Amino acid sequence: MMVYETEDDLVVIDCGVLFPSVDQPGIDYIIPDVTYLTARRHKIRGIVLTHGHEDHLGALPYVLPQLDVPVFGTRFTLALLESRLGEHKELRPDLRLIQDHAPFKVGGLTVTAIPVAHSIPDAVALAIDTPAGVILHTGDFKVDDHPRDGRMTDKQALSRLGDAGIVALFSDSTNAGVPGHTTSEAVVATTLATLVASAPHRVVVSAFSSNIHRLQSVVEASEAAGRKVVAVGRSMQQNTQLALERGYLKARFGAFVELDQAQALRRDRITVLASGTQGEPMSALSRLAAGEHGQLQLEPGDRVILSSRKIPGNERAIGTLVNHLYRLGVEVLDDHTPGVHASGHACADEQREMLALCRPRFFVPVHGEYRHLVRHAALARDSGVDAARICIVEDGQPVELWGQGADIRLVRGAAVQSGHVFVDGKGVGDVGEIVLRDRRVLAETGMVLCVVILREDGTLVGGPDIVTRGVVHVDANQELLGRATEAVRKVLGDPGDCRDAANCAEKIRQTLRRFFRRELDRRPLILPVVMSM
């Protein structure tokens, strides 16, 4: 999420989710902290979306109830958003369709969408006309001269804006550190056509279900090879349906078949489009790999093509998936095979091109981790942008443009509240770092609960009862747990010490902590429960 703000107006660009890492157990999504925005609700004129990826619009179902403002987007972006919001029936957002090159007003600001190539249809960069001059926000983009849908990054429009003067460029840094140029989708289409045509038996292609260009290549490859296509997995079925209905995915009549029809076809007459490229455990591809799909069983000689990159953090899950596939005797081709996948994010050569077209006065690398921003800044410097006019900022660090024309300055403003809010089930923001720390401790060590009942004079009348989870196998360790119980009983033996429940709880905690450390060299979470009669 990015925010552009003037004295009178505030416009939000994108509103995405992050997915949790393994050290954030139980978290479903991570959404932006919008405290800064809720305090300025009166001047927020709208949210403008650059494209339909989850990391650009996935937080809207959670943020829209807090910020009831119009949402602007291109046709495919809004279609995806509507399907996403369909799960949240209570929301009736004011959605406004934008067209390429047609300026639109967001409060006092005029915004123009410029087509860019990316791994999803209808992506745009945004030129925002502000009192300080035109700001160009690239969104996610690549430069592809042979995109599947003909939608190229509009270099002429960018160059015209550059001629007229761009005061600041905010550009996608994800692949700025990767030398060279991204592979064209046209190359991927050719590779997939060869791999589908030469497959002796069934072909399964897994790709991100929003990458309609990639799905188009799979459909064409299958049509050419005389194969029917079957979509498996919820997101793959939803997105192919949506893209077919709206004309983003083109297929001959009868090119797609349902799963039950596919079962009646010969193995070499089928291409399966499956979601789950990242090894998500419940996804269609993982279930196929584990032989648990129910309706579809992979067999030796089938070919699986993973037409995607490995998102950092998912390597293990993908590795497990590939192991399972190999055990079934299936051939696996992944992004190590040239031309099987192409990134949607501009590499270094394309970034240089973007800078040359825009010739911005100031440059701010965005979208990416800190290391990506630093590499992008270095690239801009090497491309001739004055180092004093490049500004690397992290979340919550505003940059401000002051002055006019030749005297304009870019300075760092005072940091504002920002950051991550965790979504867990129906709870938004109720799980914080402290709860997560407890979850991590529980996951690492397990817990020991010890219940005692005391009379008012401190005499033990019930317990100690010890219950454990995730520490030892209870049935096999009765003797050990019996000794733990004895140790607690012994330390509570002197009634004078136990009149105070807090004091008693602390004694139990210390005793059990010592006991488990001495006996097992483990540090489970100890929970004493002291009840008084």
Nearest Cα to Cα of residue 346 among 151, 119, 176, 187: 176
For the chain, the distance separating the N- and C-terminal CA atoms, rounded to the nearest angstrom, is 55
Query: Rounded CA gap, 310 and 283, in Å?
Result: 15
144 binds Zn ion (CB under 5 A): no
Query: Rounded CA gap, 393 and 3, in Å?
Result: 13
* Closer Cβ to Zn ion, 16 or 20, answer by number: 16
Point out the catalytic residue in the list 345, 367, 372, 376: 345
- Residue 57 parent element (H or E): helix 54-57
* Closer Cβ to Zn ion, 140 or 334, answer by number: 140
**Is the separation of the CB atoms in 365 and 392 below 8 Å?**
yes
* Closer Cβ to Zn ion, 9 or 140, answer by number: 140
Check if 94 is active-site.
no
Point out the catalytic residue in the list 172, 302, 334, 424: 172
Supply the minimum distance, in Å, between the C-beta of residue 480 and Zn ion: 54
* Closer Cβ to Zn ion, 53 or 303, answer by number: 53
Residue 247, φ and ψ in degrees, nearest 5: 80, 10
Which range of residues in 87-95, 137-145, 168-176, 324-332 is near Zn ion by CB under 5 A? 137-145
Q: Return the residue of 140, 144, 280, 350 that touches Zn ion, per CB under 5 A.
A: 140
- Cβ atoms within 10 Å, residue 88: 13
Query: Rounded CA gap, 529 and 135, in Å?
Result: 60
Which range of residues in 10-18, 140-148, 208-216, 373-381 is near Zn ion by CB under 5 A? 140-148
**Is the separation of the CB atoms in 132 and 408 below 8 Å?**
yes
Tokens of 287: 């279930």
Pure H helices in 198-304: 212-224, 234-245, 259-263, 284-289
Supply the minimum distance, in Å, between the C-beta of residue 282 and Zn ion: 23
Check if 88 is active-site.
no
* Closer Cβ to Zn ion, 78 or 504, answer by number: 78
* Closer Cβ to Zn ion, 121 or 360, answer by number: 121
14 binds Zn ion (CB under 5 A): no
Contact map string, positions 88 to 127, toward Zn ion, x by CB under 5 A? ----------------------------------------
Window 33-62: residues binding Zn ion (CB under 5 A): 53
Query: Rounded CA gap, 145 and 147, in Å?
Result: 6
213 binds Zn ion (CB under 5 A): no
- Tell how strand 104-106 and strand 109-115 pair up: antiparallel
Tokens of 139: 């969104």
Catalytic residues: 172, 345
Residues in the site for Zn ion, rule: CB under 5 A?
Answer: 53, 140
